[in-house]
Amino acid sequence: MSRLSLLAALLLASIAAHADEVSVAVAANFTAPMQQIAALFEKDSGHKASLAFGATGKFYAQIANGAPFEILLAADDETPVKLEKEGLGVAGSRFTYAVGKLVLWSANADLVDGAGAVLKTGNFKHLALANPKAAPYGAAAIEAMTKLGVLAELQPRIVQGENISQAHQFVVSGNAELGFVALSQVYKDGKLANGSMWAVPANLYAPILQDAVLLAKGRDKPAAAALLAYLKGDKARAIIKSYGYELR
């Protein structure tokens, strides 16, 4: 083996020896950006992020029951605070990694108008949203409809997904003509991917502050600390912004 080949082999062995894996519970709305971030994180750091996607409320229940997650990327700021208070999250590790936006979206390019009037004209049979008890975006949708005065009338047409990904899939599949989803699911690089959309005004729902927290099981994991730091870096923030999130 040549000296150069030997040095390369030793370098790779050194990186492998220090590589670590971190288990991350990720709010469903953040699926696409987190998949991109995790790939870059592994390339840049050598650490691997093992990702699970779902509803924040369900992740809380799993973590409380001993699930081996080491980081939670929540869809709200309340759950990470609760985990810290209960000793399941590491105090001082919490930060807002993204501010989410709620939209009303249809795969039909002509259905949703720019003012959301379709909610009152009622030209649809089914309206999808995430379970408001487990998913912050679902709770935001209920709040918005309540403020608009249309919740009671629309209640019989609502179909609930377990999380925001399932609500989005209901609309994609045609099982619901439209639905309340996260902007990040239908938007990329400054434009709507397809269909029609109404960006729900921010004054109709409480800010969706999405917080990250280091969990107790990840306290001494190098990869966990590295991933949280990476989320604050320029590469990750550029990806997050490209999906329509606001940054703090």
DSSP-assigned states of every residue in 158-222: EEEESSHHHHHHHHHHTSSSEEEEEHHHHEETTEE-SSEEEE--GGGS--EEEEEEEBGGGTT-H
CA distance 185 to 207: 18
Q: Which residues contact 78 (CB under 8 A, 6 or more apart)?
A: none
Q: Is the pLDDT of residue 93 over 70?
A: yes
Picking from 141, 20, 128, 22, the residue whose alpha carbon sits closest to that of residue 75 is 141
Q: Is 46 exposed, middle or buried (0-12, 13-18, 19+ CB in 10 A)?
A: middle
CA distance 150 to 41: 44
Q: Say which residue, 132 or 1, is predicted with more confidence.
A: 132
Q: Say which residue, 30 or 12, is predicted with more confidence.
A: 30
Domains of the chain: 3-99+207-242 (3.40.190.10), 102-199 (3.40.190.10)
pLDDT of residue 193: 87
pLDDT of residue 3: 57
Rg (CA), the chain: 20
Q: Is the pLDDT of residue 7 over 60?
A: no
List, in sequence order, every residue forming a beta bridge with 100; answer none if it has no partner: 208
Cα separation values, 87 from 45, 67, 218, 219, Å: 29, 14, 13, 12
Mean pLDDT of 185-211: 94
Mean pLDDT of 43-49: 97
Rounded to 5°, the CA angle 160-162-165 comes to 95
CA distance 209 to 246: 9
Q: Is the pLDDT of residue 14 over 80?
A: no
Q: Which residues contact 226 (CB under 8 A, 6 or more apart)?
A: 20, 22, 41, 45, 47
Q: What percent of the chain has pLDDT over 90?
A: 89
Residues 141/132, Cβ–Cβ less than 8 Å:
yes
Q: What are phi and psi of 26, to 5 degrees?
A: -120, 130
Rounded to 5°, the CA angle 114-119-123 comes to 100
Q: Is the pLDDT of residue 12 over 70?
A: no
> 190: alpha, beta or left, given left = phi > 0 and alpha = psi -120 to 50?
left
